[in-house]
Amino acid sequence: MKTLTLDLPSMYGDHHVTEVRQLLLALPGVEDVYASSAFRAVEVSFDDGKTDQAAIEKVLDDAGYLGELLLPEETATPATEKNGKPVFFRHTMAFDGIGRTVSFGQTVAYSGRALWPCPGVGPLKMDEEE
């Protein structure tokens, strides 16, 4: 029996813990999975005669958990100005003298994916009953 510990930067919520556990426990030879969204890490106990580290890493990488969590950057460009560059969904600025926060929003059209990157969770698929 071997134990493998991996950092999973994209496992930032408990719904990811559930998904990672399901993915890994479906592999032959995986005996136990301890996953923590607080530490963004997973510890896997497995039988090295039935599976190996490469297979475990492949499953996690295919689901998007091994890569860095990519987040859009907030820029100094107002949300209403494009200037040939992509417009980000939120811009906020606080004014010390006034003590207020001003924010600008933008309507983003649905493009078949979540607006926030969420590995393992895609758009809902609906089955139509006949």
Average pLDDT over residues 49-72: 86
Q: What is the pLDDT of residues 90-112, one digit of tens each?
A: 545 555 555 555 555 666 665 66
- Whole-model pTM: value is 0.58
Same domain, yes or no, for 10 and 58? yes
Task: Give yes or no for residue 119 having a pLDDT over 80.
Answer: no
Residue 24 domain-assigned (yes or no): yes
| % of the chain beyond a pLDDT of 90 | 37
- Are 49 and 81 contained in the same domain? no
Q: Name the token pair of 89.
A: 């969904």
User: Domain check: are 18 and 49 in the same one?
Assistant: yes
> pLDDT tens, 2-43?
999 999 988 888 888 999 999 999 999 999 999 999 999 999
Q: Does some domain include residue 34? A: yes
Domain that holds residue 42: 2-62
Task: Specify if 113 maps to a domain.
Answer: no
* 57 & 13 share domain: yes
Same domain, 9 and 57: yes
Structural domain includes residue 115: no
In a domain, 88, yes or no: yes
- What's the whole-number mean pLDDT along residues 41-62? 93
